[in-house]
Chain A
């Protein structure tokens, strides 16, 4: 009836290997994310675009604001060094597209980070404290929800001048509403959990509990949402630039380039297509990555 030494050894080994097989939520999520082909391909493309946007302008012999009067509206060609052609002032479109990409991606990321910070803290505070504070904070949120924000940002830009920093802040500051709602919902379900009660019992302050216990636990959903927020920030900025209210000349962004391109598309189609291609590809990538992350982190979807 007794188990041989070898067998027990084998069982112990098996148990050990079983234990190794146990995976954390994040490992699990990573596995599932990397099984999603669209998301992985998007990640690769996005990395390439980011690298190109950062390094690319240094590779060209032209600067983004060099005007070349002898080469206005020149089509794309390898020999002349104007890989994407030139615009109406003879500025190299390759460099301008990449510089525009730098601005667009930067606005997108910073806007998303600002929105993420405000939204997470607001939502976590509101949900965690609850009661009357929660009611007031949610009421404020409802009021903000029915603001026509695009008009409001344009109003801000009109009154305070076109300043890229202001645009970052304005875009971030108006986009945190959904984030705050989502985080609040999560917090409400979290705050009755045992480990939060334990922290209470240990005398941890409310602010500490929010920042050390609540926020890290809602981080998953926040990351997913932030990924989906970046493309909408990029769109937001492009929208402003398209209307001539965003970045100022000679600096540029994808929206500003699209505006120029759409005005001269009858004679110089490449001025529309290159920036549009870059922007649409980037937006696609962020959307696929966001969807992939959401599927990967969703605990219901095993």
Chain B
């Protein structure tokens, strides 16, 4: 097992390297450079600026410099916010996104698995139909439609919750963003869970457990849950990516000072080092998380032996 975990983590490195390389060279070969869009500068000033950011060196050398800094955890200076490094900006924004993302992710898994199991156990009852039609709606309605509607109802209409802002992460400021972010994933997870639970519940070992006279709650929790949850586990990777990506929209709508907001502003302002740095950061997170999911899968599924 240790060997498998080690090997899986090692495999993530080339993936990450490809991501960094492709992103970096795309940026360097894009038409124009970050300073060409500004007012035309005297050539000396321009040369100075380019020298400051290392643009005067050959591209390959720049690449290796970037890599060297990256290994030391340095994403370089921001082109837009001249007094800040990308690291400083990320350090401010990351906790916000992490808090909302983690809450949405954990709640989505818990609620989704419970609802899916419930629907499967009460198959073809009104509970099943209610959960499944709710899930259909949840899957189809995108977060950037859902979130404004939530704001309209709960913030503007009923005035129960604030319409946006962060306020240091107070609970009432987190409710709407988290709900807006997680609905899609609750629905998807519930659908997956229902399908696999129905399949597992009709298998032979469950019948045996029933024949032994075990209580059905015991059967569900101790026998059925583990095999039934496997498809959900393999969905966690895409769900994680989705939640990170979704943070871009949610943070824009609710005006939260997180990674997504930073990324969009960086893209709109053509702050290349910011966009590049965040792409690499998010990529690294994604790749790590996928590796963790694979390991988790191997832990849960006794049939997989490495």
The chain B residue sitting closest to A262, CB to CB, is: B148
- A238 near B144: Cβ-Cβ < 8 Å: yes
A278 shortest CB reach to chain B, Å: 11
The chain B residue sitting closest to A279, CB to CB, is: B145
The chain A residue sitting closest to B253, CB to CB, is: A262
Give Cα A276–Cα B148 distance, bound, in whole angstroms.
10
Give Cα A244–Cα B252 distance, bound, in whole angstroms.
11
Q: Which of A222-238 contact B (CB under 8 A)?
A: 231, 235, 238
- B148 near A155: Cβ-Cβ < 8 Å: no
A154-B263, A243-B264, A272-B148 are known contacts. Are A148 and B18 too (CB-CB below 8 A)? Answer: no
Give Cα A98–Cα B90 distance, bound, in whole angstroms.
40
B26 interfacial by beta-carbon distance below 8 Å: yes
Contact code string A254-283 (vs B, CB < 8 Å = 1, else 0): 010011011001100100100010011001
Give Cα A59–Cα B30 distance, bound, in whole angstroms.
42
Contacts of A146 in B (CB 8 A): 12, 15, 237, 283, 286-287, 290
- A148 near B282: Cβ-Cβ < 8 Å: yes
Q: Please report the total number of A residues contacting B with Cβ < 8 Å.
A: 41
> Which of A155, A242, A272 interacts with B26 by CB under 8 Å?
A155
Q: Please report the total number of B residues contacting A with Cβ < 8 Å.
A: 47
> Which of A158, A259, A269 interacts with B275 by CB under 8 Å?
A158
- A159 near B272: Cβ-Cβ < 8 Å: yes
Give Cα A287–Cα B133 distance, bound, in whole angstroms.
13
B194 shortest CB reach to chain A, Å: 14
Contacts of A258 in B (CB 8 A): 144-145, 148
A152 interfacial by beta-carbon distance below 8 Å: yes
A2 interfacial by beta-carbon distance below 8 Å: no
Give Cα A166–Cα B27 distance, bound, in whole angstroms.
16
A276 shortest CB reach to chain B, Å: 5
- B144 near A151: Cβ-Cβ < 8 Å: no
- A155 near B23: Cβ-Cβ < 8 Å: yes
B136 interfacial by beta-carbon distance below 8 Å: yes
A155-B275, A159-B272, A258-B144 are known contacts. Are A148 and B244 too (CB-CB below 8 A)? Answer: yes
B268 interfacial by beta-carbon distance below 8 Å: yes
B70 interfacial by beta-carbon distance below 8 Å: no
Give Cα A146–Cα B172 distance, bound, in whole angstroms.
34
B142 shortest CB reach to chain A, Å: 5
Which 8 pairs across A and B sit closest by C-beta, in order of nearness?
A159-B30, A262-B148, A150-B245, A158-B267, A146-B287, A148-B282, A143-B15, A151-B279
- 6 examples of A-B residue contacts, CB within 8 angstroms: A151-B283, A155-B23, A155-B26, A158-B267, A283-B140, A287-B140
